[in-house]
């Protein structure tokens, strides 16, 4: 769960925070069921008041829909928005310390939907804590997960406003760049080791929306979960591509 994997959510939240300012942090009454990305069904009888988010993407989305005031714990990886830094750091988001999470007395825990977290999800549910796991790896995931969080928290109106606002912005950018020349883009994620954005990442989607063509867009790997997820590239290979690259994304 690399920091770069959260840039889509960061951009989306930056667009959505003004909407959150108009939303209330007060829990709303809900009674519905939802299915998470592990395929598990969670029955929600009342809007949660003490949420632990061990997934930086869901942390940012909760702030976006106006539910940030109900957070009582985050991961070490959470860096945005600034208000998240004031929350208790409960450690890593993969294979979390379940006892430490339970000590925060949550009535909802959000995990990253990695196989590494299946045991934690099972143990948390066994302890009686409602738990859901999600992945935000593609633009479509942003919409789906935001609406799911809105259902869980009772902030359905704010969640819908958030996805509509972000969707409209993406559509405007795509339309504005549709007829422009498409520069070749190299989006580096890390320099030690040198890693590049592949075609299976939402960052590749954002490059396309912005009117670019990812030099590693042909690589189908997903944005998380395997050593090839963020395609490694040698310095020599990068030099071979230099002449065709028109833009290097900042990171």
For the cut 60, the answer to whether the pLDDT of residue 167 exceeds it is: yes
In degrees, rounded to 5, the angle at the alpha carbon of residue 145 between the alpha carbons of residues 142 and 151 is: 140
- Window from 3-12, 60-69, 205-214 with minimum mean pLDDT: 3-12
For position 5, what pLDDT does the model report?
43
pLDDT tens figures, 177-236: 999 999 999 887 766 667 778 888 888 999 999 999 998 888 886 433 234 445 555 666
Tally of CA atoms within 13 A in the half-sphere of 2 that contains its CB: 20
| pLDDT tens-digit series, residues 28-55 | 555 678 899 999 999 888 999 999 999 9
Cβ atoms 1, 135 nearer than 8 A: no
Domain extent listing, the chain: 3-169, 184-248
Closest by CA position to 148, among listed 38, 74, 69: 38
Sign of CA dihedral 155, 156, 159, 165: negative
User: Tens digits of per-residue pLDDT, 73-89?
Assistant: 999 989 889 999 999 99
Helix (H) or strand (E) holding 194: strand 194-196
Element (H, E) at 132: strand 131-134
Output the pLDDT for position 76. Answer: 94
pTM: 0.78
Q: What single-letter DSSP state applies at residue 171?
A: H
In the predicted model, what is the mean pLDDT of the chain? 83
At 243 the pLDDT is 56
Q: How many helices (H) and strands (E) does the chain have?
A: 8, 11
- Kindly report the backbone phi and psi dihedral angles of residue 175, in degrees, each rounded to the nearest multiple of 5, phi listed first: -65, -35
pLDDT tens figures, 149-161: 999 999 999 999 9
Please state which CATH number belongs to domain 3-169.
3.40.50.1980
Q: Is the pLDDT of residue 58 over 90?
A: yes
């Amino acid at each position: 769960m690399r920091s770069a994997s959260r840039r889509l959510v960061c951009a989306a939240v930056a667009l959505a925070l003004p909407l959150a300012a108009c939303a209330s942090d007060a829990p709303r009454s809900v009674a519905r069921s939802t299915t998470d990305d592990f395929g598990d069904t969670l029955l929600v009888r009342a809007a949660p008041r003490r949420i632990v988010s061990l997934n930086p993407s869901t942390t940012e989305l909760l702030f976006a829909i106006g539910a940030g005031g109900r957070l009582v714990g985050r991961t070490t990886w959470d860096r945005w928005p600034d208000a998240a830094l004031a929350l208790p750091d409960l450690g890593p988001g993969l294979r979390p310390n379940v006892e430490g999470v339970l000590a925060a007395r949550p009535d909802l825990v959000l995990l990253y939907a990695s196989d590494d977290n299946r045991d934690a999800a099972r143990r948390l549910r066994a302890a009686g804590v409602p738990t859901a796991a999600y992945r935000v790896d593609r633009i479509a995931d942003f919409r789906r997960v935001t609406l799911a969080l809105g259902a869980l928290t009772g902030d359905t109106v704010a969640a819908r406003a958030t996805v509509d606002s972000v969707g409209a912005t993406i559509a405007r950018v795509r339309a504005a760049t549709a007829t422009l020349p498409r520069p070749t883009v190299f989006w580096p994620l890390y320099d030690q080791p040198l890693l590049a954005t592949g075609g299976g990442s939402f960052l590749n989607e954002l490059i396309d929306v912005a009117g670019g063509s990812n030099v590693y867009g042909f690589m189908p790997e997903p944005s998380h979960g395997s050593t090839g997820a963020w395609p490694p590239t040698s310095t020599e290979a990068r030099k071979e591509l230099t002449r065709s690259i028109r833009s290097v994304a900042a990171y």
